[in-house]
C-alpha cells in the first residue's frame, strides 16, 4: 500500500465512525468493480478523452455514472486526486458537480461522477449537435458565475478552481451547468492575497497572463478564466482558431461591440438574442480580461450584473469605467 492508499484509508476510517456502513462524501470502490461495470474499460463505453484521462459510461449501484480514469498517474496527479476529493467533500451547490466515488488501487486512479447526458459545454459549443439558444447560454453563464461565487465567497476557507473552461462545465438534462474537475483547486486561507506556485497545469488560453508570469494565483485568476469562457459562449469560437487565441481576437472588436455593433462577433448560429443581456455579458467579459487582477470584479458582482440587478458600469474600476463611458458617448 502506497502513501496515497494509506492517507485515503485513514481518512475513510476516521469519517466512517464506528459503523463501517456509514460513509461521508465520496465512496471508495474497488478497481475490480469498476473494471467489471465498464467491460474492462472498453472503448464501446468511452464518453470522451482528455489530455490526461479517459471517461467511461457505466451502470454502478443502479445509477448511470461517469468514471474518469487518469492515464498517467504520478506524484502530481496523486496530489490532484486527493485534493479533488477533499474539495468536493467540503462543498454543496447546485452548480458544482458531485463526486460520488473514487478508486486508488496500485497505480490506478479513478473518479466517479454522476452522468450528465448533455455532456460538457465545450461539446455543445463546438460539437455537431443542436445549437445552444440564447436563453440556455444565459442560464449557463449565470449558473457558472453562481458556482464560482459560492467557492470564492461562501466557503471557509475560500476555494479557487484554477481550471475554469468549457471542458470543465457539465450540463444536466435542464442545461443547468455543473462546474467540475477540482484537481488544481486550492484552499485560500483568510488574510491571504494570493497563492504562490511554481506552476499550475491549467489551459494556456484561459490563464491570466499576468498571474502566470508572476506565479501568484487568487480568486481573480478564476475571474479571468470565467471571462474567456463567456467569450466562447457569446462568439461560438474555439479558444484558438487559425493560430489566433480568442482573447486577442476579441480585443480587436470589443470596443465596437460595447457600442452595440454585434455583427461578426456574436455566434452566427444564434438566431436571436436579447441585446441588453448581450451588452451585460460583453461588459462582464471586458471587465474580467482587460483589468488588472486587483481591479477585476468579484464573482458576486458579476452575478448581479448578469442578472440585471446591477448596472454594467459597476464592474469597472474608476479609470476603466471612465473610458467605457466615453466610448459610448
- Is the peptide bond prior to 236 cis by the omega test (within 30 degrees of 0)? no
Please pick, among 53, 163, 167, 222, the residue that the annotation labels catalytic: 163
Three-state SS for 303?
A: helix
Cα gap 288→12, rounded to integer Å: 40
Percentages (nearest 5) of helix, strand, coil residues in the chain: 45, 20, 40
Q: Is 163 a residue of the active site? A: yes
Three-state SS for 216?
A: strand
Cα gap 114→215, rounded to integer Å: 34
Cα gap 118→283, rounded to integer Å: 28
Cα gap 122→51, rounded to integer Å: 14
Q: Tell me whether strands 63-70 and 244-245 are parallel, antiparallel or unpaired.
A: unpaired
Catalytic machinery residues: 163
Amino acid at each position: 500500500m502506497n502513501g496515497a492508499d494509506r492517507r485515503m484509508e485513514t481518512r475513510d476510517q476516521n469519517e466512517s465512525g464506528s459503523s463501517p456502513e456509514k460513509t461521508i462524501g465520496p465512496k471508495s470502490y474497488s478497481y475490480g468493480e469498476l473494471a467489471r461495470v465498464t467491460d474492462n474499460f472498453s472503448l464501446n463505453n468511452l464518453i470522451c478523452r482528455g489530455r490526461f484521462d479517459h471517461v467511461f459510461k457505466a451502470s454502478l449501484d443502479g445509477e448511470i455514472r461517469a468514471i474518469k480514469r487518469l492515464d498517467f498517474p504520478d506524484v502530481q496527479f496523486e496530489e490532484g486526486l486527493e485534493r479533488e476529493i477533499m474539495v468536493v467533500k467540503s462543498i454543496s451547490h447546485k452548480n458544482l458537480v458531485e463526486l460520488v466515488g473514487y478508486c486508488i488501487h496500485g497505480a490506478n486512479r479513478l473518479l466517479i461522477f454522476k452522468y450528465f447526458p448533455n455532456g460538457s459545454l465545450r461539446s455543445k459549443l463546438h460539437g455537431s449537435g443542436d445549437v445552444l439558444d440564447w436563453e440556455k447560454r444565459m442560464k449557463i453563464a449565470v449558473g457558472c458565475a453562481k458556482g464560482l461565487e459560492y467557492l470564492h465567497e461562501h466557503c471557509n476557507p475560500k476555494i479557487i478552481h484554477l481550471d475554469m473552461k468549457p471542458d470543465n462545465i457539465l450540463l444536466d438534462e435542464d442545461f443547468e451547468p455543473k462546474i467540475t474537475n477540482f484537481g488544481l483547486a486550492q484552499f485560500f486561507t483568510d488574510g491571504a492575497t494570493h497563492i504562490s506556485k511554481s506552476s499550475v497545469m491549467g489551459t494556456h488560453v484561459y490563464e491570466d497572463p499576468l498571474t502566470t508570469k508572476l506565479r501568484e494565483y487568487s480568486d481573480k485568476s478564476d475571474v479571468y478564466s470565467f471571462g474567456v469562457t463567456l467569450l466562447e459562449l457569446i462568439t461560438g469560437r474555439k479558444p484558438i482558431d487559425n493560430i489566433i487565441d480568442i482573447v486577442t481576437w476579441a480585443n480587436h472588436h470589443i470596443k465596437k461591440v460595447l457600442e452595440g455593433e454585434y455583427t461578426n462577433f456574436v455566434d452566427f448560429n444564434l438566431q436571436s438574442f436579447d441585446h441588453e443581456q448581450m451588452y451585460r455579458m460583453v461588459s462582464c467579459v471586458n471587465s474580467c480580461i482587460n483589468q488588472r487582477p486587483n481591479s477585476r470584479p468579484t464573482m458576486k458582482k458579476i452575478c448581479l450584473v448578469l442578472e440585471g440587478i446591477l448596472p454594467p458600469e459597476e464592474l469597472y474600476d474608476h479609470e476603466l469605467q471612465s473610458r467605457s463611458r466615453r466610448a459610448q458617448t
